[in-house]
């Protein structure tokens, strides 16, 4: 397989995401929060919407729509990966981080109808929306793709 190492990374990231989410599902009540330090809390939430809870109140149609979008994005990223040269390492890492995050949240949507969020960052009264490892992988993937180095001409 052309991208075996990257698919192994994908598998590890998705398993890590799902493992951490299972910890919160099995150990916390929805809305329960534990303060770790002045900047971080573990807060178990069930996000029925998209990023920042957009479309959270849309009901069954919204859930089906978000699930379909997650599947479509995952397929598009896989197709994009297979059009990428194996020498474009930063781009491939970015694509696989993006794919890992998309699939991690897709599993939640398919299994529960919502995405499990638990990372609660805050400072001086400002609270960032609660997120999860899959969201972090999507962010890391986007950063890697935005700031990838130019491929030298051969």
The one catalytic residue in 17, 108, 117, 120 is 117
The one catalytic residue in 17, 108, 120, 135 is 135
* Cα distance from N-terminal residue to C-terminal residue, the chain: 25
* Residue 62 to residue 34: CA distance in whole angstroms: 31
Paired strand residues for 141? none
Can you tell me which residue has the tokens 């149609």? 61
**What does 131-145 look like in DSSP terms, one character per residue?**
B-HHHHHHHHHHHHH
Known active-site residue 135: yes
With residue 33 as reference, give the H or E element that holds it. Answer: strand 33-37
For 34, left (φ over 0), alpha (ψ -120 to 50), or beta?
Answer: beta
Known active-site residue 117: yes
Q: Provide the annotated active-site residues.
A: 117, 135
């Amino acid at each position: 397989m052309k991208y075996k190492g990257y698919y192994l990374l994908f598998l590890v990231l998705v398993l890590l995401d799902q493992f951490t989410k299972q910890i919160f599902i099995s150990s916390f009540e929805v809305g329960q929060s534990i303060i770790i330090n002045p900047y971080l809390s573990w807060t178990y939430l069930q996000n029925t919407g998209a990023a920042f809870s957009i479309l959270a109140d849309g009901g069954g149609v919204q859930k089906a729509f978000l699930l379909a979008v997650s599947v479509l994005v995952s397929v598009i990223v896989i197709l994009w990966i297979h059009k990428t040269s194996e020498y474009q390492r930063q781009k491939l890492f970015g694509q696989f981080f993006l794919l890992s995050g998309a699939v991690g949240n897709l599993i939640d949507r398919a299994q529960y109808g919502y995405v499990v969020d638990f990372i609660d960052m805050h400072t001086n009264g400002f609270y960032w929306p609660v997120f999860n490892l899959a969201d972090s992988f999507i962010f890391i993937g986007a950063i890697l793709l935005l700031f990838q180095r130019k491929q030298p001409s051969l």
